[in-house]
């Protein structure tokens, strides 16, 4: 298993070319959709549109992410994802399709007790790889921001201020542990409206991220201050 200080790809991949109900009320809202605006140093570089659907003891998500390479503005990147999970956001099946200036690739993930397996196809030679996992983990892929929703909803608010979660990153074929800390309440302005949120600090050991979550456990904002990345719900 990869150590936590290696889990930096959410920010670094973006720089180098980057409303579901709370878990306790999933049966009251079957569908949630939204758009995340992705900004780098204050400039918008992309959008991620996502849909979450809950039914019985399962949750699924789909998304389309489009952004331009901040270092090479002519390069366009699109990623489409589909993720099937149980009620605790443990993955059951995963698919990612990518298109980088017409070069297409794909990842297909399958999950068994203790192991996550991935098949990779694209311009390079197809390959298979896997990682060992524990019983409870969730999937947090590189540059797919709506996956942070699952981390925010696994966190148990008002209990231990610091909690740890195992995550798997398919694009990197790694797993590791993130530490999540409840920092406190903070009012933020989203879409021109001030909203009270709980701010969480996510620490990989090498990178610190911030999440702002409202009282309904809706993820409103993500920030990586050291990389000047901000992601905000439309």
Per-residue model confidence (pLDDT) at position 26: 39
Per-residue model confidence (pLDDT) at position 23: 42
Per-residue model confidence (pLDDT) at position 149: 97
Beta bridge partner(s), residue 166: 177
Per-residue model confidence (pLDDT) at position 54: 93
CATH architecture observed for domain 4-233: Clam (2.50)
The residues spanned by each domain of the chain are 4-233
Per-residue model confidence (pLDDT) at position 69: 78
pLDDT in tens, the chain (234 residues): 444 444 444 434 443 333 333 444 434 448 999 999 999 999 999 999 999 999 888 999 999 999 987 777 678 999 999 999 999 999 999 999 999 999 999 999 999 999 999 999 998 889 999 999 999 999 999 899 999 999 999 999 988 889 999 999 999 999 999 999 999 999 998 878 899 999 999 998 888 999 999 999 999 999 999 989 999 999
Segment holding 169, helix H or strand E: strand 162-169
Nearest to 149 by CA among 44, 56, 222: 222
Token reading at 153 = 């909803």
Per-residue model confidence (pLDDT) at position 75: 86
Residues near 24 by beta carbon (within 8 Å), at least 6 away in sequence: none
Per-residue model confidence (pLDDT) at position 111: 98
Alpha-carbon distance values, 188 to 150, 213, 220 (Å): 21, 10, 9
Token reading at 104 = 């297409």
Contact 190, 233 (CB under 8 A): yes
The alpha carbon of residue 136 and the mean position of all alpha carbons in its chain are separated, in whole angstroms, by 17
């Amino acid at each position: 298993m990869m150590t936590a200080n290696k889990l930096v790809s959410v920010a670094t991949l973006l720089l180098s070319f980057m409303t579901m109900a709370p878990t306790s009320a999933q049966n009251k809202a079957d569908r949630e959709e939204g758009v995340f605006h992705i900004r780098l140093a204050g400039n918008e570089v992309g959008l991620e549109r996502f849909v979450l659907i809950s039914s019985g003891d399962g949750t699924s998500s789909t998304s389309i992410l489009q952004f331009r390479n901040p270092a090479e503005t002519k390069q366009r990147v699109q990623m489409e994802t589909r993720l099937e999970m149980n009620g605790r956001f443990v993955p059951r099946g995963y698919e990612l399709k990518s298109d980088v200036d017409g070069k297409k690739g794909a990842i297909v993930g399958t999950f068994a007790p203790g192991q996550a397996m991935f098949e990779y196809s694209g311009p390079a030679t197809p390959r298979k790889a896997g990682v060992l996992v524990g019983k409870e983990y969730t999937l947090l892929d590189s540059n797919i921001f709506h996956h942070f929703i699952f981390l925010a909803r696994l966190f148990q608010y008002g209990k231990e201020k610091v909690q740890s979660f195992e995550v798997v990153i398919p694009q990197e074929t790694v797993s590791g542990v993130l530490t999540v800390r409840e920092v406190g309440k903070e009012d933020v302005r989203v879409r021109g409206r001030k909203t009270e949120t709980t701010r969480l600090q996510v620490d990989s050991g090498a990178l610190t991220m911030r999440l702002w979550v409202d009282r309904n456990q809706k993820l409103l904002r993500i920030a990586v201050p050291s990389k000047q990345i901000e992601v905000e719900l439309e």
